[in-house]
Amino acid sequence: MKLVYRILLHLSWVLTLLLAGWAALFYFTLIDEVNDEVDDALESRAEVIVKRVLSGREVATSAPTDNTGYILREIPAEQARGRSQDRYSDEEIFIPERDDREPARVLRKTFRGAGERWYELTVMSPSIEKEDLLEAIFYGILYLYLCLLLSVLLVTVVLLYRTMRPLYALLRWLDAYTVGSRNPPLKIETSVTEFRRLNEAAERYAARAESLFERQKQFIGNASHEMQTPLAVCRNRLEMLVDDPRGLSEEQLGEIAKVQHTLDYLVRLNRSLLLLSKIDNGQFPETEEVDFNALIRRTGEDLEEIYAYRGIRFSVQEQGTLRVRMNPSLAGSLVGNLVKNAFVHGAEGGEIRVRIASHRFEIDNDAAAGALDAGHIFERFYQGTKKKGSTGLGLAIVDAVCRLYGLRIEYAFRDGRHLFTVNFPE
């Protein structure tokens, strides 16, 4: 989730809670003020009626024509003692003329008149429809919230995008940055201290990455030269021992052959590891259009002759022409390792089938054993079935080439056959 959207989401929740709390506070404050005003009016009317009763003037016992009247009735002294305080309440008063109930604020007041006579005075005054008021406030707050929320979010989005421009520019620069290539300088003008520090940190880490990259390239070149030379010297000396006219025993020749086999394995392993390092470091900038149809046919024919003793048949089905712009050496490594993997790990007397389309090619072969672990087959030195002379780096090189060019490689096991599919961007 983008930072802007996350801020807007949290802002929406905060505004919702604040407005809901403000609406509740506004409603109860309004009701309290209305009740205070009505209660004061009821108190004034009640005092007038009580004074008339206490002065001995004649007062009607009731005037309940509507919800603005009053009722005066005499009550026993025992009942009056429990009602010493004035009581206010909200009630629904039935009005016969309208055959309906209307809301009213009611004051019940108990007082003592002449001759130890006790009276209960009930005074009524029209009141507002609190449910209607609550509904009106709810919809008013809802409309207010929507308008306020949209306005706040719109202003927030505009301000955030204007404020975050330096960050977006830095992200674009980092996305386009490639170690070892000619990259444009980072020129972002900003007055925000945090963004300036972030830009400076990005430049420092980019310079550090370039330095490490150059040192790694130098190490790879030196390692390639320093390791290949002694390996070649060892192989030559062993060959000289084998060609020695004085002769060696069969046991000695067997041991020398084992050492030569080990040296050959080390040479292949060294070359594969160096190739992986160069791919990971992006040291294959040269590109040209590669004809995969011709490359696959040529690779398959060469390997078919090498592995003829295994009786494996190789066939190509061309459903389209696959031409891709990439480094030709890496294209050869991609195809060569996949096809060689099919020959080495395929069942003897089986068949390798290749299908080429305009944006992908597939290689499947008969399985000598069960399915491979799709989660680990592209890891370095992983081998489902150990094969003599195999370095365990072939599929790792394939995966590195695919990652370098944004290709997608998939593995499946169908009908007793291993299937590798390489998908190219359309």
Q: What is the dihedral of CA 285, 290, 296, 302, to 10 degrees?
A: -70
List the domain boundaries for the chain.
38-149, 195-280, 288-423
Write the burial class of residue 234 (CB in 10 Å: 0-12 exposed, 13-18 middle, 19+ buried): middle
Distance, in Å, from the CA atom of 339 to the CA atom of 341, rounded to the nearest integer, reads: 5
The neighbouring-strand residues paired with 111 are 119
- Tell me, rounded to whole angstroms, the distance of Cα 273 from its chain centroid: 35
Query: 288-423: what fold?
Result: Heat Shock Protein 90 (3.30.565)
Which among 95, 121, 84 is positioned nearest to 106, based on CA atoms? Answer: 121
What's residue 355's pLDDT? Answer: 92
Phi, psi of 120 (to 5 degrees): -120, 120
For CA atoms 144, 145, 151, 155, the dihedral sign is positive
Give 177-229 pLDDT, tens digit per residue: 877 667 888 888 888 888 888 888 888 888 888 888 777 767 766 776 677 77
Give 84-118 pLDDT, tens digit per residue: 678 888 877 776 666 767 778 888 888 877 767 78
Which DSSP string do the residues of 329-385 spell out, in sequence order? Answer: HHHHHHHHHHHHHHHHHBPTT-EEEEEE-SSEEEEEEEBSSS---TTTTTSTT--SS
- Please give the model's pTM, rounded to 2 decimal places: 0.47
Give 297-340 pLDDT, tens digit per residue: 998 888 888 888 888 888 988 888 888 888 888 888 888 888 88
